[in-house]
Amino acid sequence: MRALRALIAALTAATLAGPALAADEGACYVAKGLVQADFALPRVAAAVDAKQLKIVVLGSGSSTLPGADGPAKAYPARLQESLERRFPGVAVRVVTQAKPRQTAADMVKALRQTLGEEKPDLVIWQTGTVDAMLGVDPDEFQTALGEGLDVLRDSKADALFVNMQYSPRTDSITALTAYLDAMRFVALQRGIPLFDRLGVMKEWSELGVFDLAAATKKIDIAERVHDCIGRLLASMVAEGKTLAQTSDTGAGTMDSQKKESH
């Protein structure tokens, strides 16, 4: 019995210490199965090779946290930190362009200017919440997504979608399905990786990793959720980069828009 326990402890320690990153991700990794880069991020791969990676997070209120510490604790900052650890020697910079109450169409309007100023390699586009709350026509939402991606393609930036938060208390009040479907369809159609924030947070809630239904004014859970989202996003970005490299060696110089082949 004692021997068995020792063996288990040793195995656990080995697993945790084994891949350097595993310990780093901790409890967040419960939902790792839901996070997969299904499409390559060729611009990110090129930028990492060039030792300079610039990312813009385009989003609405749920890409930020309130308070003086907010910007440092919100997921874009956590993403930057996690990527710096993953890519030593690469200058990673994550800029947040998040304003509350912005629909997808609102964001597209300002997008060209943002891209001109920031010239990012990757745009992480978090959207859907505000559109669903306002009841914007799902078709119009989908059109806005497509237009945004057109702008990104013109400026040669990779794109990655982040969908809504899972919010158990307001779940039955805001109908998200049509907007989730729209994001998923556009992501598939255009070969854009989609970070299923809703699915990940739902998994955390169901498995009891975080109590997302808690009514609280305290910020600690929110900060830990954002930290985890930042880490998982980083692993997705890294995966998208790896996919781009493996497909480059095989397929030569195919159109960068091409879907990843398996």
Binding to other proteins by residue 221, rule CB under 8 A?
Answer: yes
* Tokens found for residue 34: 């839901």
Among 134, 156, 246, 251, binds other proteins (CB under 8 A): 134
Binding to other proteins by residue 171, rule CB under 8 A?
Answer: yes
**Letter for the amino acid at 233?**
L
Given the complex with other proteins, which of 43 and 202 has the nearer CB atom? 202
What is the helix (H) or strand (E) element at residue 42, kind and residue range?
helix 42-49
Q: How many CA atoms lie within 13 A of 7 on its CB side?
A: 4
Residue 11: how many CB atoms within 10 A of its CB? 10
Among 28, 41, 212, 237, binds other proteins (CB under 8 A): 212
Binding to other proteins by residue 52, rule CB under 8 A?
Answer: no
Binding to other proteins by residue 172, rule CB under 8 A?
Answer: yes
Q: Which residues contact 9 (CB under 8 A, 6 or more apart)?
A: none
**Letter for the amino acid at 221?**
I
- Cross-strand bridge partners of residue 124: 57, 160
Among 6, 7, 175, 254, binds other proteins (CB under 8 A): 175
Calpha distance 169→173 (Å, rounded): 8
Cα angle at 14 between 8 and 16, to 5 degrees? 105
Binding to other proteins by residue 61, rule CB under 8 A?
Answer: yes
Binding to other proteins by residue 170, rule CB under 8 A?
Answer: yes
Binding to other proteins by residue 205, rule CB under 8 A?
Answer: yes
Site string for other proteins, 72-111 (x = CB under 8 A): ----------------------------xx----------
* Tokens found for residue 70: 């907010």
Given the complex with other proteins, which of 57 and 187 has the nearer CB atom? 187
Q: Which residues contact 110 (CB under 8 A, 6 or more apart)?
A: 97
Binding to other proteins by residue 217, rule CB under 8 A?
Answer: yes
Q: Which residues bind other proteins (CB under 8 A)?
A: 36, 38, 60-62, 65-67, 100-101, 129-130, 133-140, 142, 165-175, 178, 181-182, 184-185, 187-189, 194, 202, 205-206, 208, 212-219, 221-222, 225, 259-262
